[in-house]
Amino acid sequence: MAIPHGKLLTADDRAATVPAMTRQPTAEPGINPSSPSERTALVTGGGRGIGRAIALRFAADGWHVVVTGRTIEQLEEVVADAAGLSGRIVAQACDVGSAESVAAMVDNATSMVGPIDTVVNNAGVHAAGSFLELGPDVFRDLFETNVIGIVHVCQALLPSMIAAGFGRIINIASTAGLFESPGQSPYNTSKHAVVGLTRCMALEMAPTGVTVNAICPGFVDTPMLGSFADAAGVELDTIRQRLAGRTPMGRILAPDEIAHLAAHMASELAGGMTGQTMVVSNGMRMH
């Protein structure tokens, strides 16, 4: 359907812009008939930090989880950490910036755990420096992982979610995607793009039973803090103290705090939430 330029879209107009295949779910949209032991999730960047915490939380809830990343050794450690939990975790090496790598990973993942009903796009990289000193390749590299990686994964998995009439997509953005920061133009720009992509995807997927939301964490105690410390030329504990001092609550977040929110977003209880950017920042960002 062609929408005239400048026309305010109604709900019917928006539904008409979604491809026909997205308007023919096999289940009532938004209702997942699966028990917790049948829920399946893919967590990119699942080898450490926030991704690891989310994968372990899902497995603790009885889910079958696929963790992906570039370093298989880290992923295998997460698999081992899940031993004894009610669910299970399997590992698949993948570079989300490569469409071919994502396609192969999805084929392998679905053969091991079945159709994926939840995706957590957590894979991300960081770069910092003066804007005038950073070449375009720095921006391209960040966008390939932080933004295009989400596109690759979601385009590979959305058709099966739409056919089932249920799906959850959770994009890990950042408070950096909500404001400006000196020396952080590549990273902040990529995370602004994640927020915008989340909202656009959510609007298109709204009639299908698939929700799309973003989490914008503030300062989290993950290995990425090491790059902040290196850039500042200080010890890791020093950067932790500095970042904690910039928050009203005087602390930095633990990865598990993000995992708890992701678990709620992935549940049926969050069926009416889509297109949202949920900020968890110890009060650093309020809106």
Residue numbers annotated as active site: 187
Q: Is 150 left (phi over 0), alpha (psi -120 to 50) or beta?
A: alpha
- Within 10 Å of residue 87's Cβ, how many Cβ atoms? 22
Structure-token pair, residue 142: 């960040």
- Within 10 Å of residue 174's Cβ, how many Cβ atoms? 27
Structure-token pair, residue 17: 């812009």
The DSSP element (H or E) to which 191 belongs, if any, is helix 185-205
At 171, which amino acid appears? N
At 44, which amino acid appears? T
Angle at 98 between CA 59 and CA 260, to 5 degrees: 25
Supply the DSSP string of 91-106, one letter for each residue.
EEE--TT-HHHHHHHH
Helix (H, G, I), strand (E, B) or coil at 67: strand
Q: What is the C-alpha separation between 219 and 251, in angstroms, rounded?
A: 9
Q: Which residues of 45-59 are buried (b: 16+ CB within 10 A; e: fewer)?
A: bbbbbbbbbbbbbbb
